[in-house]
Amino acid sequence: MSPTETKDATKRELAIEIPAAEVTRETEALIVKYQKVARLPGFRKGHVPASIIRQRFSEDIKTEVVEALVPRYFRKEADKQGMIPVSQPRVTDLHVHDGEPLRFKASFEVMPEITVTGYKELRAEKPEITVTEEEVQHSLDHLREQGATYAAIEGRAAADGDFVQAALDGKPKEGVEGQPVHMDDVLIEIGGKNTMPEFTEHLRGASAGDERVFDVVYPADTQDQRLAGKTFVYTVKVLSLKQKNLPELNDAFAKELGEFNSIDDVKARIRQNMEEEKKHTAEREGKDKLVAELVKRNEFEVPEALVEHQVDLRIERGLRALAAQGMRAEDIKKMDLNRLRAGQRDQAVQEVKASLLLDKIADTEKIEVRDEEIDHEIESLAKQTQQTSEAVRARLTRDGALDRIRTRIRNEKTLSYLYDQSA
């Protein structure tokens, strides 16, 4: 039994021979098993001669011998050679004949030798975090918008700044494909920055009870792809006219927002939250650049099996996100998965490289994950899924996901170490 040399950093091949005596022993044991359960005409159960079993079930027995011995001897030889496979072996050149040794070749991938260099010289961008008065005021204005009330307008027609409360039906213009649009009750701001110009043009001057019919041409860059570049015919029935009233920025408004005594307290909280969010964003972007530079400085070949697994994870996350956004299962099934996989490959390679490098640095710097950190992660998942911590732990253990969680936390701690030490 010997390894076959290969120039590839991650691919290995073993030529393995299983002694004839071991093959015979396994074969005889299987014949005894078949004798106990075989039902053949003319023989009582458990009394079929071994020669008949060998003749009648020869191919089945040969298959079971291979399935039993090949994995066992592959693992044995890989351990002997000090190889740690990261993929299932591909078995070729299988030689199985009665009375002869069982021979085969096993091709598989191993983890490459990784030597991380230059990680202590990495420097992260750490910009100064500032929050302007304009940003705080913009956030306050948003809070006022959320607390807005609408009063009925009597005795005049709709003007700029007013809101038309309406029911509308929109249909693709003749010759245009698309799904109809229907809303029983919608507020349309006349002259609003997010209002299509056609709505403003045709509803300005309208009164309660009026009905307007007009075309709306959607630009090609419209966010809703179902409408982009299409022309719809809208029938709009005006139900009423409304005037928006914003609350005053005073201490009474502050108290309505929560545990605040004054509007200054609200501003202070807004500023604090913005600073924390900006700091978090800057840290995330800094860490992303650190990882990219780390990978750039340490080029090595990665096992294809790990890349394919990472592609699987990315596709799975993407499909779950689409389903959460409301995409129908039948539409998801129609997607070209091969094309999707090809599009995810480059990023998957980078992620695998980053994970392997961070793992190597963690070994060098003796960065470990405490059991309490795993427990905290499980408790968070339990709250999200409204399950008990015990049930979540059992599921993660069954799915083999606990090791993935430990690896992720360890990588995050290692990346934080790199970020903190990069002055």
Q: What are the pLDDT digits (tens) for 130-151?
A: 999 999 999 999 999 998 999 9
The answer to whether the CB of 26 falls within 8 A of the CB of 35 is: no
User: Is 166 in a helix, a strand, or coil?
Assistant: strand
In this predicted model, what pLDDT tens digit does every residue of 212-231 receive, in sequence order? 999 999 998 888 878 888 89
Give the Cβ contact number of residue 180 at 10 Å.
9
Q: Decide if 321 is inside a domain.
A: no
Mean pLDDT of 333-357: 91
pLDDT of residue 41: 81
Please tell me the total count of domains within the chain: 4
State the pLDDT confidence band at 187, using cuts at 50, 70 and 90: very high
State the pLDDT confidence band at 325, using cuts at 50, 70 and 90: confident
State the pLDDT confidence band at 176, using cuts at 50, 70 and 90: confident
Same domain, 275 and 131: yes
By CB atoms closer than 10 A (0-12, 13-18, 19+), residue 266 is: buried
| Cβ-count burial 376-411 (b if 16+ within 10 Å, e if not) | ebbeebbeeeeeeeeebbeebeeeeebeebbeebbb
Do the bridges between strand 181-189 and strand 211-217 make them parallel or antiparallel, or are there none, so unpaired?
A: unpaired
Do the bridges between strand 231-245 and strand 163-172 make them parallel or antiparallel, or are there none, so unpaired?
A: antiparallel
Dihedral sign from CA coordinates of 356, 366, 423, 373: positive
* Angle at which helices 389-399 and 371-385 cross, to 10°: 110
* Rg, C-alpha atoms of the chain: 34
In this predicted model, what pLDDT tens digit does every residue of 69-99 receive, in sequence order? 999 999 999 999 999 899 999 999 999 988 8
Distance CA 343, CA 311 (A): 9
By CB atoms closer than 10 A (0-12, 13-18, 19+), residue 121 is: exposed
Q: Decide if 234 is inside a domain.
A: yes
Token pair for residue 153?
């307008």
Q: Decide if 79 is inside a domain.
A: yes
Q: Decide if 351 is inside a domain.
A: no
pLDDT of residue 201: 94
Same domain, 195 and 232: yes
Backbone angles phi, psi at 342, to 5 degrees: -60, -35
Same domain, 237 and 160: yes
Backbone angles phi, psi at 238, to 5 degrees: -80, 115
pLDDT of residue 73: 96
Domain that holds residue 410: 367-423
pLDDT, the chain, mean: 90
Token pair for residue 73?
């001897």
pLDDT of residue 1: 44
Mean pLDDT of 380-399: 90
Same domain, 190 and 265: no
Token pair for residue 82?
């000090």
Same domain, 222 and 290: no
Q: Residue 54 pLDDT more than 90? A: no
Q: Decide if 39 is inside a domain.
A: yes
Same domain, 59 and 47: yes
Q: Decide if 421 is inside a domain.
A: yes
Residues in the chain: 423
Same domain, 136 and 254: yes
Same domain, 186 and 132: no
pLDDT of residue 5: 42
Mean pLDDT of 103-120: 92
Same domain, 228 and 371: no
pLDDT of residue 53: 81
Distance CA 186, CA 261 (A): 35
* Domain termination residue (choose one: 84, 109, 134): 109
pLDDT of residue 284: 94
The HSE-up count of residue 395 (CA atoms within 13 Å, CB side) is 10
Dihedral sign from CA coordinates of 346, 350, 351, 356: positive
pLDDT of residue 423: 64
Q: Residue 357 pLDDT more than 90? A: yes
State the pLDDT confidence band at 2, using cuts at 50, 70 and 90: very low
Same domain, 144 and 186: no
Q: Decide if 119 is inside a domain.
A: yes
Same domain, 199 and 222: yes
Can you give the CATH number for the domain in which 223 is found? 3.10.50.40
Torsion, CA 92, CA 71, CA 402, CA 313, rounded to 10 = 20
The answer to whether the CB of 246 falls within 8 A of the CB of 145 is: yes
Same domain, 58 and 21: yes
Distance CA 143, CA 316 (A): 37
State the pLDDT confidence band at 259, using cuts at 50, 70 and 90: confident
Give the Cβ contact number of residue 173 at 10 Å.
14
Q: Residue 381 pLDDT more than 70? A: yes
DSSP-assigned letters across all residues of 80-133? HTT--BSS--EEEEEE--TTS-EEEEEEEEBPPP----SGGG-----PPP---H
Give the Cβ contact number of residue 199 at 10 Å.
22
The answer to whether the CB of 163 falls within 8 A of the CB of 209 is: no
Q: Residue 47 pLDDT more than 80? A: no
Distance CA 20, CA 71 (A): 17
Q: Decide if 360 is inside a domain.
A: no
Q: Residue 374 pLDDT more than 90? A: yes
State the pLDDT confidence band at 6, using cuts at 50, 70 and 90: very low
pLDDT of residue 399: 84
The HSE-up count of residue 381 (CA atoms within 13 Å, CB side) is 17
**What does DSSP assign to residue 146?**
H
To the nearest 5 percent, what fractions of the chain are helix, strand and coil?
50, 15, 30
Can you give the CATH number for the domain in which 77 is found? 3.30.70.1050
Q: Residue 307 pLDDT more than 90? A: yes
